[in-house]
Chain A
Amino acid sequence: MKAKVYVTLKKSIADPQGTAIKGMLNKIGFSRVEDVRIGKLIELDLGNVEKENAEAQLTEMCEKLLANTVIEEYRFELEK
């Protein structure tokens, strides 16, 4: 089973990279862009696992390693 994990900075955490990209977008003609936040997309192949097991594993992976929950949020999607 394949999965995508999205890790993003919490709303309360400033994202200097996003701010810089927002400035660039505004500068090259996309003047209406009001906010940019940059995160990570992690693609995984979990092998042959049941959906419930996959979800439990992904949660544990995110809590332990893939995200730092002090500053980041995560969510994931499973693909058949």
Chain B
Amino acid sequence: MKFGIIVFPGSNCDIDCYYALKIELNQEVEYIWHDTENIDDFDCIILPGGFSYGDYLRCGAAAANTRIMESVKEHAQKGKLVIGICNGFQVLTEVGLLPGALIRNRNLKFICDTSVVKIENIDSPFTNQLKKGEIINLPIAHGEGNYVADEDTLKKLKENEQILFTYQGNPNGSILDIAGICNEKRNVLGMMPHPERACEALLGNIDGKAIFESIIVFLQGGESK
């Protein structure tokens, strides 16, 4: 089982992801530079947070047009796992692996805070070690986390139970309080909160660990809780 963290120029949560997986969860993990083409060796690809390509034009727009994202699309089409956290979520919506878009926060401010997140659905590779309705705390740090989608998309997200995480006390104006969604096939996750920043007890919060543990259980072919 191998995790790969894609590093774009401007990614800045890549090291946090690496630390969480390697040190806290004892997993095999490698950085993947953004001009790499072959990512066949990896079971789970992580698109980390940050400001890829300076967030020029739109957050994630430049990263979405890189060669490696073609490989990530193929990886996802094979049913393998992809997670986009924060800027990674923005990249996944820009390439169309997830529906909707992330626009400027309602209050126009960059929000760096702890968000209160409710687990809406546990039937996914990313949430199977959590409880439905469970409340966890996860850090957020974004200026464009305000999720929008048209009515049809929202209807589908609800019907297929693709909304995995919602905010309690919506910080950014996201429609339906959405903090994280998966695709219809349930192998691609996008979320604005940072689980990788909540895995080390010394930093005061390990609520994010259960998300990575869910992925590990899923990849090991294990049962959900």
Contacts and interface: CB of A to CB of B under 8 A. Distances in A.
B112 interface: no
Contact of A17 (B93, B101, B108, B150): B108
B106 A16 contact: yes
Contact of A66 (B57, B101, B103, B150): B57
Nearest to B109: A16
Contacts of B103: 9, 13-14, 71
Pick from B58, B61, B106 the residue with the most CB of A within 10 Å.
B58
Contacts, number: 36
Contacts of A31: none
B106 A12 contact: no
A70 interface: yes
B105 A71 contact: no
B57 A65 contact: yes
Contacts of A70: 93, 99-101, 149
Contacts of B58: 68
A16 B173 contact: yes
Interface of A: 9, 12-14, 16-17, 20, 64-66, 68, 70-71
Interface of B: 57-58, 61-62, 65, 93-94, 99-101, 103-108, 146, 148-150, 173
Top 7 closest A-B pairs, CB basis?
A71-B101, A70-B101, A16-B108, A16-B104, A16-B106, A65-B65, A68-B58
